[in-house]
Amino acid sequence: MTGDARKRWLTSLGAGLAATAALLAAGSAPAAQAAPGGETRPQVRPQARAETHEVEYFAGPDARPRHIEVRDSTHRTAAPATAPVTPLQRTGPTSARLDLVVIGDGYTASEQGDFTEDARRSLDAILAIEPYRSYRGLFNIWLVEAASPASGVSGDPTADVTRDTALGSHFFCEEIERLLCVDTDAVTGLANSAPAADIVFVIANSTKYGGAGYTFTTPPDGATYRGIATMSSDNERSYLIGAHELGHSIGNLADEYQYAGYGAYPDPEAPDINLSTHRDLGTTKWHRWVGEQDPTGSAVGTYEGGGYYETGVFRPTDTSIMRTLTSTEFNLVGREAMIAGFYAHADTLTSRTPTSAPISRGTRLTVDLAPLTGLAAPRLTWYADGKRVDRATNDLSVTPAELGVRGRGPHTIRATVTDGSASLRDPSALASAANSLTWLLR
């Protein structure tokens, strides 16, 4: 994907993201507002080490999420600086993949085999949801084997249970039973054991339902992970927490639920691709999908309530995984945003032949395509001096001579991959899904 394409997609997310970046750069954030139940309304927070973090949690498998500020100093651990790393899935170079790091907590040294199986099962469940399933090939998955002194985690089954673990995972965080918190410094430190980290999951050794999603965590070395999600290993519904949190960190999707008592949306327009203050079906951001039957069960339209507010803001469908975990589907608008988010971090096309050095007519150009399936429909096209060479379509290995190049040059050879998925309609999203490699023949 070209830099211009990425810029066009990011621009389409709205000016609100630029305002967020300005707040982060300035090191300031809007003051928290009181919400029902003593919680705080979700807010933009600076990307700096802090004693508190904004966390999204789920009070039960059928409950809508809530947000709360949690203290990060209550369960500090003496985690090791590094830990063994195993690739669960490696589909390409880290520079061209979305790297997901999974760390186990509450697994002793002798239980690391159990962690591997629990991680595999949880990730298979998450990545069975579209569009993860079709675009799984854009992920590298790294398992960090953090051995804990004790088996299990604190707060399981009751609040008085305390266990010594590598990451300090604990239920009853802030006295909320299902809120599963961790020592974020320990998490981000161990995540650096992996070759790269875009997203970090913590899988806690427990059958108890629970988890959390941390918004933007900055490790000591200054590198920013887009998010940390926690979930229990052996509860059949906890994997949905991870699927939902990736909706935020990859797709930049807003929560589509609302809180009683929040009232009307206060701003002229929502910055998020899946929320809008415009009810008119012809002018809403997702007008290209209006009327389509959605995988969540309703037709795409404008449904009032979202972004925590009850009125004055609209979402694309009646429900989705960004509204409640009783739904296991992204709506069509969410799917498109997720796919564009995948391509913002990863490229379908990579090369075994360097593009930085001149080539000759006989140089064999060998490329690789990420193993995409299902919704994804990648197409590889070759160009010689700007002219498409149809006979080489989808060929993974060619020479300039085979593409019809004659004479001493200079000549330009280009390979381009486009995604023909029916899940992409927005021109910016379509542009984000294309990427090219270019070689110069002298």
**pLDDT tens readout for residues 382-407:** 999 999 999 999 999 999 999 999 98
The pLDDT value recorded for residue 54 is 84
Q: Give CA torsion, residues 13, 14, 19, 25, to 10 deg.
A: 30
* Residue 134 predicted with pLDDT over 50: yes
What three-state secondary structure class fits 260? coil
Give pLDDT, residue 188.
87
pLDDT at position 69, please? 87
The number of helix segments (H) and strand segments (E) in the chain equals 8, 17
As a whole number, mean pLDDT of residues 61-81 equals: 73
User: Residue 190 in contact with residue 82, Cβ under 8 Å?
Assistant: yes
For 404-432, the pLDDT digits (tens) are 999 877 999 999 999 989 999 999 999 99
Q: Which domains does the chain have, with CATH numbers?
A: 31-249 (3.40.390.10), 347-441 (2.60.40)
Give the confidence band of 78 by pLDDT, cuts at 50, 70, 90.
Answer: low
Higher-scoring residue by pLDDT: 294, 28? 294
User: How do residues 16-64 score in pLDDT, each as one tens digit?
Assistant: 323 322 322 223 333 333 333 333 433 323 334 456 788 898 877 766 7
Residues 371 and 6: their CA atoms lie apart, in Å, by 22
Per-residue pLDDT band at 222 (split at 50, 70, 90): very low
Q: Are 343 and 432 in contact (CB under 8 A)?
A: yes
Q: What confidence score (pLDDT) does residue 342 get? A: 96
Residues of the chain above pLDDT 90, percent: 71
